[in-house]
Amino acid sequence: MKDKLFRFVLFFAALMILLLSAGIIYSLVSRSLDTFNEYGVWGFISNAEWDPRKATEEYGALSFIVGTLYTAFFALLICIPFSLSVALFNGEYFKGTKVASAVSSVVDLLAGIPSIVFGLWGFYSVRPIVIALGVNAQGFGIFLSSIVLAIMIIPYASSLSTEFISMVPNNMKEGAYSLGATRLEVIRRISFPTASSGIVAAYILALGRALGETMAVTMLIGNTDRIPSGLRGTGNTMASVIANQFGEADGLKLSSLIAIGLILFIITAIINLIAKMVMKRLSKV
């Protein structure tokens, strides 16, 4: 009886997750229909125009998609070398020491800091430094927001990567050392290949947070409704434009903002699917 009850609880929990996901998708799709009926799915995605004026009202998501990808992937590019270095420090070179424990505690502390705090820090610390260097910080919104995003996701990526590197069996590494391998060779030929699927998962999770980050980006990106000209430009992400304009939106504009949320949901789902495929392939190697 206890076993049947436990199985029922597990089944109910799994079913609720499926129903919740279906409810989210239904809500987003149903409230986005006005926009897709007006512009078409591809027409809305490929259009970079965002004009809320009633006389010339027109909405497109392309500029926000580009802004989101710019900031998220550049942040991940910055994150990888720093987080991987921390992971090797804690999980390989100084594993089990007081120094590694102290560094892990700091990393966990940074991971728990709310995003708005990072946004404030970026606005009042990083931005003045850029201005002091003689650069127009207002015109470097993409760059500034990417830097802050990278700092935000480094704790997640490094903490998870450390766990997977620490889980590499010691007998495999000791066997390599007994054959004359150096520490660097053990890391390259044993630790990385064994933990590769977990490390990839860590960076995918970090990328997922960067894609959906709102407040920190909103405070630094410049909030212009146009395609960014590069790291030296300003723009908006899908999350930041929703945060900025949702409260005052109605009619077609409200439907367009919800449609942007739906696109962000789909992009995140696709990235997670790719991550699972990569992890399965790496785990078989």
Domain containing residue 215: CATH number: 1.10.3720.10
In a shared domain, residues 52 and 70 = no
**Residue 50, strand partner residues:** 59
In a shared domain, residues 142 and 162 = yes
In a shared domain, residues 91 and 213 = yes
Question: Which amino acid, residue 272?
Answer: N
Query: Is 129 exposed, middle or buried, given 0-12, 13-18 or 19+ CB atoms closer than 10 A?
Result: exposed
- Please check whether residue 88 is in contact with residue 157, taking contact to mean a CB–CB distance below 8 angstroms: no
Judged against a pLDDT cut of 90, whether residue 29 lies above it is answered with yes
Q: Which two tokens stand for residue 16?
A: 């609720």
In a shared domain, residues 209 and 156 = yes
In a shared domain, residues 117 and 93 = yes
Question: What's the chain's average pLDDT?
Answer: 86
| Neighbouring residues of 279: CB distance < 8 A, sequence distance ≥ 6 | 197, 198, 200, 201
Rounded Cα–Cα distance for residues 124 and 130 (Å): 11
Judged against a pLDDT cut of 60, whether residue 137 lies above it is answered with no
In a shared domain, residues 231 and 267 = yes
Window from 105-109, 221-225, 233-237, 280-284 with minimum mean pLDDT: 280-284
Q: Which two tokens stand for residue 266?
A: 């789909």
Q: Tens of pLDDT along 104-119?
A: 888 888 888 888 888 8
Domain count, the chain: 2
Judged against a pLDDT cut of 70, whether residue 134 lies above it is answered with no
In a shared domain, residues 34 and 116 = no
In a shared domain, residues 86 and 149 = yes
Domain around 215? 65-284
In a shared domain, residues 132 and 45 = no
- Please check whether residue 239 is in contact with residue 208, taking contact to mean a CB–CB distance below 8 angstroms: no
In a shared domain, residues 9 and 100 = no
In a shared domain, residues 10 and 95 = no
In a shared domain, residues 49 and 133 = no
| Neighbouring residues of 96: CB distance < 8 A, sequence distance ≥ 6 | none
The dihedrals phi and psi of 58, each to the nearest 5 degrees, come to -160, 140
